[in-house]
Chains A and B, each alone.
Chain A
Amino acid sequence: MTTVEERLLPSAEPVQLIDEHGARHDNPQYGMPAADALVDGYAQLVVGRRINDQAGALVRQGRLAVYPSSHGQEACQVAATMVLREQDWLFPTYRDTVSIISRGVDPIETLTLLRGDWHSGYDPHERNVAPQSTPLATQLVHAVGVAHAARLKGEDTVVMALCGDGATSEGDFHEALNFAAVFKAPVVFFIQNNEYAISVPLARQTVAPSLAHKGIGYGVPGERADGNDLAGLLAVLGQAVDKARAGEGPQLVEAHTYRVQAHTNADDASRYRDDEEVTPWLERDPIKRLDAYLTEQGLLEEAHRAEATAAADKIAADLRDGLMQDVSPDPAELFQHLYAVQTPQLKEQAAFLQDEIAREEA
């Protein structure tokens, strides 16, 4: 018999299968993921990093309105989608561009929001990816609804719901956990704890021993993993997804990672943290350690690296080409998508704007 605490509380330390030097650490509860998953994951990390870097450059060139980067958090981004099946859902936030693209959504469509063209650019039903949520934690309750609907329909869908450390302070986070638990909804709540909510450090969000400990109050099993170790994340998230799929109800996973860059390009992190704090985290880089481990194991060859680099080059070029084009969204759309049937008032206002634009252009 396991005790309630054993069942619901996270491991004493974040699960880590590969440390920052690339050394392997065996864990009785979590096996090392298959070699080809790690090699595939490695390529996705390289691509993810490049997406972050390229998007950053495109902000500086004025091609994106804003970019919240997941630089340094790519292992979380990639693992979140690698453990999903086609029928599963992803609920991302503004920071999860890489995760959305790794789910297979078109990169240019993904960046529609941050480019300032429209509020969301992809069809959520195409890859089962909800629109990126900006109001913190609000998407988590939607995730519960999607999961519950799947259960009612007899589908074995799992929902991966993402949020940050700061978002765990919002009421909706707690309501989502409780609802999911009460309805035994197959949701994996995945917190990317990057230590900051803009300028506010984790210590101001909670005095709980960890964010994964927040599950026990709702009867939701919590687990934590090194957020820069793709292997550990795949193992922990994989198990959480399996349990949720098997009907064991929601699971909570906290990844310990770090926001290496500022909150967004508009933020000045030097106002609230020292560079000395950032430096050690650069050593814990998710790509570096996986490269070291796979190389040591003889699993990663030059050909793999070249392939990953080529894929990264290609997506960077696609992003540049796509975002350098000046496509102006059609102002008529402002009035088209509010209601199934356009109201007479909106029809009138659309005509007013159309006429105004015609006069401007004349």
Chain B
Amino acid sequence: MTHQKLTMAQALNHALRDAMRADDTVLMFGEDVGALGGVFRITDGLTAEFGEDRCFDTPLAESGIVGMAVGLAMNGMRPVVEMQFDAFGYPAFEQVVSHVAKMRNRTRGKVTLPMVIRMPYAGGIGGVEHHCDSSESYYAHTPGLTVVAPATVADAYTLLRKAIEFPDPVIFMEPKKLYWAKEEVDLTTEQPGIGKAVVRREGRDATLIAYGPSVPIALEAADAAAAEGRQLQVVDLRSIVPFDDEKVCAAVRSTGRAVVVAEASGFASVSSEIVARVTERCFHSLAAPIRRVTGFDIPYPPPKLERHQLPGVDRILDAVDDLQWEDS
């Protein structure tokens, strides 16, 4: 038993360290991940422990970083790369969509790419333009990519370890506003793997479906609802692709009502996909159409206006109120 109080940033750092200790083909590289330890300190101390060949800074070019990772993975390495911020992953989009996602399929499984693209993402930190994008839908829309977003400290550790061990490329979305969230954790506890959603809170009246940065807000909303006598269940997706239809649908069937909570803009997004597939599968169990609480369909706002973009407890409770309750 090794209980310790860790931030999500520290848990991610532990995951990288343990993965690098366990397998010396695991390499970590990107911008400022060496001496600085990453702008969020996720790679703190890795160069010191594993040396320049295992954790290193590259020239400043995201397409180069991801493209080189493809080659390294083709030749026996397990690269983990960091895109410094969500929006700075865009110069690598060509590599991600045209090669990272397609190599296995192109070569009928002869060339596989076990690699992880770590991406601090989403808002809530008062960042200026290009520092707060929720870009998960671009990746989730791209067949061949596995997309994961932890919401808890324990999951940050587990999911990153499993992503590094995964046989295919994983886009690992780190909700940067949760980096400093602290939790008492035991990293040796086995957690569900990639592709598995979990119920974070039981409740019989309605289901909140969330992932990444929206999970703590959903839990907060459930607390507030409980105070008003409504028991909300909270499902944390953890894995966007593969999507856990079974767990999510079972949860929704158990309550008959659902609200999807996501920070990203709602139009043509992961949240729209969730509504569509759950509706297709659970239509006859639903007492009301599934509602969504998402970011508006606008570029992420400047710091002074960002609070308007973030799903908050009140918006979630309003959406829950709208779920056609006979008694009200």
Q: Which residues of A contact B (CB under 8 A)?
A: 65-66, 113-119, 134-136, 166-167, 169-172, 197-200, 204-206, 267, 271-272, 328-329, 331, 334-335, 338, 343, 345-346, 349, 353, 356
Selected contact of B60 from candidates A65, A205, A343, CB within 8 Å: A205
**A335 to B297, alpha carbons, bound, how many Å?**
8
CB pair B58 A334 closer than 8 Å: no
14 A-B pairs in the complex with CB atoms less than 8 angstroms apart: A113-B129, A134-B128, A169-B59, A169-B61, A171-B63, A197-B32, A198-B32, A198-B36, A199-B34, A199-B36, A200-B31, A272-B35, A334-B308, A338-B298
Selected contact of B37 from candidates A116, A167, A271, A335, CB within 8 Å: A271
Closest 7 CB pairs of A and B: A116-B303, A199-B36, A169-B59, A272-B35, A166-B60, A169-B60, A119-B129
CB pair B61 A135 closer than 8 Å: no
Q: Is B88's beta carbon under 8 Å from chain A?
A: yes
**A328 to B308, alpha carbons, bound, how many Å?**
13
CB pair B64 A169 closer than 8 Å: yes
CB pair B61 A170 closer than 8 Å: yes
**A113 to B303, alpha carbons, bound, how many Å?**
9
Chain B residues positioned under 8 Å from A200 (CB to CB): 31-32, 34, 57, 60
**A338 to B300, alpha carbons, bound, how many Å?**
12
Which single residue of chain B is at the shortest CB-CB distance from A335?
A: B298
Query: Contacts A199-B32, A272-B36 given: A334-B305 contact, CB under 8 Å?
Result: yes
Q: Is B169's beta carbon under 8 Å from chain A?
A: no
Chain A nearest Cβ from B221, distance in angstroms? 15
CB pair A116 B35 closer than 8 Å: no
Chain A residues positioned under 8 Å from B58 (CB to CB): 204
Q: Is B299's beta carbon under 8 Å from chain A?
A: yes
Q: Is B302's beta carbon under 8 Å from chain A?
A: yes
**A96 to B301, alpha carbons, bound, how many Å?**
22
**A290 to B37, alpha carbons, bound, how many Å?**
39
Chain A residues positioned under 8 Å from B315 (CB to CB): 356
Which single residue of chain A is at the shortest CB-CB distance from B90?
A: A135
Which single residue of chain A is at the shortest CB-CB distance from B318?
A: A356
**A167 to B267, alpha carbons, bound, how many Å?**
33
CB pair A116 B57 closer than 8 Å: no
Query: Contacts A198-B31, A271-B35 given: A171-B297 contact, CB under 8 Å?
Result: no
CB pair A135 B87 closer than 8 Å: yes
**A172 to B64, alpha carbons, bound, how many Å?**
12
Cβ proximity bits B286-328 to A, threshold 8 Å, 1 near / 0 not? 0000000000111101111100110000110000000000000
**A205 to B126, alpha carbons, bound, how many Å?**
30
Chain A residues positioned under 8 Å from B126 (CB to CB): 65, 116
CB pair B296 A349 closer than 8 Å: yes
Cβ proximity bits B17-43 to A, threshold 8 Å, 1 near / 0 not? 000000000000001101111010000
Chain A residues positioned under 8 Å from B303 (CB to CB): 65, 116
Chain B nearest Cβ from A115, distance in angstroms? 8
Q: Is B277's beta carbon under 8 Å from chain A?
A: no
Chain B nearest Cβ from A275, distance in angstroms? 15
Which single residue of chain A is at the shortest CB-CB distance from B307?
A: A331
Chain A nearest Cβ from B214, distance in angstroms? 18
A65-B303, A117-B302, A346-B296 are known; give 8 further A-B pairs, CB within 8 A: A135-B90, A135-B91, A166-B60, A197-B60, A198-B32, A205-B59, A206-B59, A334-B298
Chain A nearest Cβ from B268, distance in angstroms? 11
Q: Is B106's beta carbon under 8 Å from chain A?
A: no
Which single residue of chain B is at the shortest CB-CB distance from A271?
A: B36
CB pair A353 B308 closer than 8 Å: yes
Which single residue of chain B is at the shortest CB-CB distance from A65?
A: B303
Selected contact of B129 from candidates A134, A169, A335, A345, CB within 8 Å: A134
Chain B nearest Cβ from A282, distance in angstroms? 22
Chain B residues positioned under 8 Å from A198 (CB to CB): 31-32, 36, 39
**A328 to B305, alpha carbons, bound, how many Å?**
8
Chain A nearest Cβ from B211, distance in angstroms? 22
CB pair A119 B302 closer than 8 Å: yes
Chain B nearest Cβ from A326, distance in angstroms? 10
Chain B residues positioned under 8 Å from A199 (CB to CB): 32, 34-36, 57
Chain B residues positioned under 8 Å from A134 (CB to CB): 128-130
**A332 to B301, alpha carbons, bound, how many Å?**
11
Query: Contacts A135-B91, A272-B36 given: A331-B57 contact, CB under 8 Å?
Result: no
Chain A residues positioned under 8 Å from B308 (CB to CB): 331, 334, 353
Chain B residues positioned under 8 Å from A338 (CB to CB): 298-299
Query: Contacts A198-B32, A271-B36 given: A170-B302 contact, CB under 8 Å?
Result: no
Which single residue of chain B is at the shortest CB-CB distance from A273?
A: B35
Chain B residues positioned under 8 Å from A119 (CB to CB): 128-129, 299, 302
Query: Contacts A170-B61, A198-B39, A334-B305 given: A346-B128 contact, CB under 8 Å?
Result: no
Chain A residues positioned under 8 Å from B57 (CB to CB): 199-200, 204
CB pair B296 A353 closer than 8 Å: yes
Chain B residues positioned under 8 Å from A116 (CB to CB): 126, 128, 302-304
